[in-house]
Amino acid sequence: MDTATITGLRVEDAIAMPRADECVVAHARREEQYAVHVTRDADATDAALRERLDGVGTVAVIADETVDALYGVELRSRLRALDVDVLARTVPAGEHSKSLDRAVELWHWLAESPLGRRDLVLCFGGGVICDMGGWVASVYMRGVPYVNLPTTLLAMVDGALGGKVAVNHPVAKNLLGAFQQPAGVVCQLDLLRSLEARQLGAGIAECIKKGVIASPAYFAFIERAAPALMAGDASALEALVRAAAAIKTALIERDPYEVDLRRPLNFGHTIGHPLETVTGYAPLLHGEAVAFGMAVEATVAARRGWLDDHVLDRLLRLLDACGLPAHADALPPGVTADALITAMEKVRLIRAGSLRWVLPVALGETVIADDVTEAEVRAALADCGVR
């Protein structure tokens, strides 16, 4: 053969045969990075998206009906101006859309579309859309790139970051999912103008969590800025979102696939996720459930003598200042200690047979404990009004 005439990429290997008694060990390494842009308006968002759309022919936009009614026509027009073909699909707004049935509908839609493996899914909405859309993208064609364009504060500071994508199951929240990092995140702050104060508070809850576990300076900033944040002040929100991205991505980088389940980012979630399950996901926003979880879990730490009562009081006051539930009076009726503890047992299975509690001992310092007893949980719940 005249090898001089061969064109194309040339690959040459000479892999040795293994020994008869040799165990073959497979290796797979993957390192990913993505940019988190915090933008003030649509023009800045378009500039950020333009960087990611190089070589992309088709963008599939997944949004909920509420977001699409407000911003969908404008977004699709702007994307087409960036010289890509645009597909769009909406789902009903709310946590109930974060389901396997909706995900299957979206896979069927993509299967009938021209979207290719090098194209892009754009998740345009709150945490439900970022979680479900990311999971749909992670499974379709064994994974197509996706970008999160979050429209709620909660999604900007938490759900759009970190690559944990999933849908809910009646047995437990986020039971069906994967780890798939986004190809980019763009947080366009003027999209928050349509949010009511309750939605802002739910987002701030996840920021308070980050302050408690990792940044006393961030916690103090939220204390000072709480009135401005709840009023939707653009400068305060920009600082809040940018710092949340820096803190969460730094923490995620240590263990992006949760090989070690002892994670400070779970503060508030050991109670918060079961609370969402027993209330049927709908009455409480995720941030509200996490806020109550933080109150209970910090109370466990204080009852052990690990957390100073002054710090616990600061946390409870800040939750109240942001309109977040720290007591049963602010929860839907019918939440009982028995129901929460039963739901926690399913979480125990998901977390390798152990419930690991993130107990704060000071701002920026936590202990991961797996020896919290049911009696301790019931006592802390009672302190927070749940019996």
Tens digit of each residue's pLDDT (9 = 90 or more) over 166-222: 999 988 788 999 999 999 999 999 999 989 999 999 999 999 999 999 999 999 999
Q: What percent of the chain has pLDDT over 90?
A: 84
Q: What is the pLDDT of residues 22-35, one digit of tens each?
A: 999 998 877 889 99
Enclosing H/E stretch for 108: helix 100-111
Position 97 confidence tier, pLDDT thresholds 50, 70, 90: very high
Interatomic CA distance for residues 264 and 364, integer angstroms:
10
Please report the pLDDT score of residue 261 as a whole number.
61
For residue 353, the model assigns a pLDDT of 62
Is 248 part of the annotated catalytic residue set? yes
Q: Is the pLDDT of residue 99 over 90?
A: yes
- The yes-or-no answer on residue 314 being catalytic is no
Q: Which of 148, 286, 288, 356 is catalytic?
A: 286
**From the DSSP assignment, how many helices (H) and strands (E) are in the chain?**
14, 10
242 is annotated as an active-site residue: no
pLDDT on residue 28: 85
Neighbours of 120 (CB within 10 A): 25
Residue 379, beta-bridge partner list: none
- DSSP 8-state code for residue 70: I
Q: For residue range 41-52, what is the model confidence (pLDDT) as tens digits? A: 999 999 999 989
304 tagged catalytic: no
Let me know if 105 is a catalytic residue. Answer: no
Q: DSSP code of 268?
A: T
76 is catalytic: no
Q: What is residue 2's predicted lDDT score, i.e. its pLDDT?
A: 67
Of 29, 142, 193, 310, the active-site residue reads: 142
CA distance 307 to 212: 11
List the 146-150 sheet strands across, edge first: 36-39, 184-188, 146-150, 120-125, 58-64, 85-91
Selecting among 148, 168, 174, 266, the annotated active-site residue is 266
Q: Cβ-count burial of 251 within 10 angstroms (0-12 exposed, 13-18 middle, 19+ buried)?
A: middle
pLDDT range class, residue 352, cuts 50, 70, 90: low
Catalytic residue among 209, 273, 288, 356: 273
User: What does the pLDDT average to over 8-27?
Assistant: 90
pLDDT in tens, 124-146: 999 999 999 999 999 999 999 99
Interval 247-285: pLDDT, tens: 999 999 988 888 776 689 999 999 999 999 899 888 999
Annotated active-site residue 238? The verdict is no
Asked if the model's pLDDT at residue 294 lies above 80, the reply is yes
Catalytic hit among 262, 303, 314, 346: 262
Asked if pLDDT for residue 9 goes beyond 60, the answer is yes
Contact 180, 29 (CB under 8 A): no
Question: With bands split at pLDDT 50, 70 and 90, how would you rate the model's confidence at 333?
Answer: very high
Q: Return mean pLDDT, the chain.
A: 94
Can you say whether the dihedral through the CA atoms of 263, 265, 268, 270 is positive or negative?
negative
Q: What does the alpha-carbon distance between residue 308 and residue 30 come to, in Å, rounded to a whole number?
A: 42
**2 phi and psi angles, rounded to 5 deg:** -85, 95
Domains of the chain by start residue, with CATH: 36-194 (3.40.50.1970), 198-229+257-383 (1.20.1090.10)
Judge whether 164 counts as a catalytic residue.
yes
Hey, what are 352's tokens? Answer: 């390798």
* Tokens representing residue 361 in the block: 């001992």
CB half-sphere exposure, 193, CA atoms < 13 A: 10
* Catalytic choice (37, 98, 210, 248): 248
Choosing from 206, 276, 288, 297, the catalytic residue is 206
Residue 1, pLDDT > 70, answer: no
